[in-house]
Chain A
Amino acid sequence: MATVAESERTLYPYVTGSSVVALKYKDGILMAADMGGSYGSTLRYKSIERLKPVGKHTLLGASGEISDFQEILRYLDELILYDNMWDDGNSLGPKEVHSYLTRVMYNRRNKFNPLWNSLVLGGVKNGQKYLGMVNMIGINFEDNHVATGLGNHLARPILRDEWNENLTFEEGVKLLEKCMRVLLYRDRSAVNKIQISKITEEDCTVFPPFSLKTYWDFSAFKNPTAGAPGSW
């Protein structure tokens, strides 16, 4: 019995998505992620949508194993379906979905069979903005701006410096683009095909993908070993 169970545990991720960055702005939540799915060190899939709306009030972004993300979407589909079947005029908000996902992730971790994802959950319900994160080991918290993976090291310092409560949509997008650009330069698994999505009280939009402009014209890059032969 035990040997059969062993082979069904998740040991390592196969197809992975890189970082997700999200922040609260004046009207709701803005989230950004690139569209790449890496298979180890190969860039295998270039059009994976890692930002998905869930129900009426929530937006879910995921990094990590893509198949586990698709499984989570199936669980959430079932959850939302049952919620709709009650037909009681109430619907699950972002806080509730976050709570549900935390329990799922933590229980899977306790059975040594984790869903290998870092999830970002954002939404607005009854005027209350909510932005939180859940990890594959069940760590969960709520904050004004979150990032997963390498975004924690590269994007959060920028967000801590430049975030404020009253960002407009344009300012929020500019700030997210700044973070995604640094990730594009410095994260090896990042791809230059970014999707941004926003969720407000009224609706949720996932914008079409676009690419960021990068700058490579520093004079020191033109002939880097001019002063130091043997360097890179």
Chain B
Amino acid sequence: MSKSVLDLPPKGGFNFDLCRRNDMLEKKGLKPQSFLKTGTTIVGLIFQDGVILGADTRATEGPIVADKNCEKIHYMAPNIYCCGAGTAADTEAVTDMVSSQLQLHRYHTGRESRVVTALTLLKKHLFNYQGYVQAALVLGGVDVTGPHLHTIYPHGSTDSLPYATMGSGSLAAMSLFESKYKEGLTRDEGISLVVEAICAGIFNDLGSGSNVDVCVITKGHKEYLRNHLQPNPRTYVNPKGFTFPKKTEVLSTKITPLKEAVEVIEGGDAMEE
């Protein structure tokens, strides 16, 4: 019990103690585990009534497609959604965390959440971790002050833009935005431009693919169009279907329908998504 050792308060941010051990293991031949990245195309644009967000649905693990139809548009608040590119776990965790912080804030203030609140919470967290939390986000929403669209980079810097793209397919999508965006787009024009930009990412970038998700947020209303466009259908399906080998013969069949034990009260104080 040496009194000379000061009791330091726990420090925030990452603890790098295990780096030396990881280095030693790598030298001994242990391959570091590859993490699931979203290698993505995510876009957002401001149209006359609000914000439209778009994303592709492919999640890659190195050269392999790990998830053909993942969800990259994350819920933050009833009026705010966030698209995430980068390491899938990081985007998922950081958006979930800020979403719950916003919910607590809403209970505390009794008001609708503002986009700048989500922005500040996210950038504070990401800056604190000095870029090690690899989440590149496109945050969009409509609050009392109007429609807002922001991009947030892994190191914590933010941009406020009329149209934005992030991810590996961002250049392909941005080339379409730069040539076709104008102010005051209607809802249909906006959706078709977002879909075109995501398709440019899907077809020209190897890290993006599969389907297009779109989310339209206007004052007091939001529409989450999951798989709005499916430009990569499975074209060749074996018409014979599956036949199980004769060894596993079906002797008898008994089907038991499961009954619902909980009554769902429609229109009650439901927990938001």
> How many Å from the CB of A222 to the closest CB on chain B?
10
Within 8 A of B (CB), among A210-232: 218-221, 224-225, 227-232
| A228 near B119: Cβ-Cβ < 8 Å | yes
Q: With A220-B46, A221-B162 in contact, do A227 and B174 touch (Cβ < 8 Å)?
A: no
Is B148 interfacial (CB 8 A cutoff)?
yes
The B interface, classified by DSSP as helix, strand, loop or mixed, is: helix
Instruction: Classify chain A's interface size.
Output: 20 to 34
Interface assignment of A134: CB less than 8 Å from any CB of chain B: no
| CB closest residue in chain A, given B146 | A227
Least Cβ–Cβ distance between A102 and chain B, in angstroms: 25
The 8 A CB mask of A150-167 against B (1 = contact, 0 = none) is 100111111011000000
Q: Which of B71-98 contact A (CB under 8 A)?
A: none
Query: Which residue of the partner chain, among B120, B145, B162, B175, contacts A158 with CB atoms under 8 Å?
Result: B175
CB pair A227–B115 under 8 Å, yes or no, is yes
Contacts of B150 in A (CB 8 A): 228, 231
Instruction: Please indicate which of the listed interface residues B116, B159, B178 has the most CB atoms of chain A within 10 Å of its own CB.
Output: B178
Q: Taking the complex as formed, is B212 at the interface, i.e. its CB lies under 8 A from any CB of chain A?
A: no
A-B pair number, CB within 8 angstroms: 79
In B173-216, which residues have CB < 8 Å from any A CB?
Answer: 174-176, 178-179, 183, 196, 200, 203-204
Q: Which residue of A lies closest to B159 (CB)?
A: A232
Chain A interface, >50% SS class: helix
Cα distance, A21 to B179, chains bound together (Å)? 16
Cβ proximity bits B16-31 to A, threshold 8 Å, 1 near / 0 not: 0000000000000000
Q: Is A178 an interface residue (CB 8 A)?
A: yes
Tell me the A21-69 residues at the B interface (CB within 8 Å).
Answer: none
Interface residue A74 (Cβ < 8 Å from any Cβ of B): no
A162-184 to B contact mask, C-beta < 8 Å, 1/0: 00000000000000001101100
Partner of B145, one of A224, A227, A231: A227
Could you tell me the distance between the alpha carbons of A229 and B145 in the complex, rounded to whole angstroms?
14
State whether the Cβ of B171 lies closer than 8 Å to any Cβ in chain A.
Answer: yes
Q: A154–B174 contact, CB under 8 A? A: yes
Chain B residues closer than 8 Å to A161, beta-carbon distance: 176, 196, 200
Cα-based distance from A185 to B120 in the complex (angstroms): 28
Does residue B158 face the partner (Cβ distance < 8 Å to A)? yes
**Can you list 30 A-B pairs, Cβ within 8 angstroms, ordered by A?**
A153-B204, A154-B171, A156-B204, A157-B200, A157-B203, A158-B179, A160-B204, A181-B178, A181-B179, A182-B179, A186-B171, A186-B174, A219-B162, A220-B46, A220-B149, A220-B161, A221-B162, A227-B115, A227-B145, A228-B115, A228-B119, A228-B148, A229-B116, A230-B120, A230-B158, A231-B119, A231-B158, A231-B159, A232-B158, A232-B160
Q: A185-B178, A227-B116, A231-B159 are in contact. List 18 more A-B contacts (CB 8 A).
A: A154-B174, A156-B204, A157-B172, A157-B204, A158-B175, A158-B179, A160-B203, A160-B204, A179-B175, A182-B175, A224-B160, A227-B148, A228-B115, A228-B150, A228-B158, A231-B119, A232-B158, A232-B160
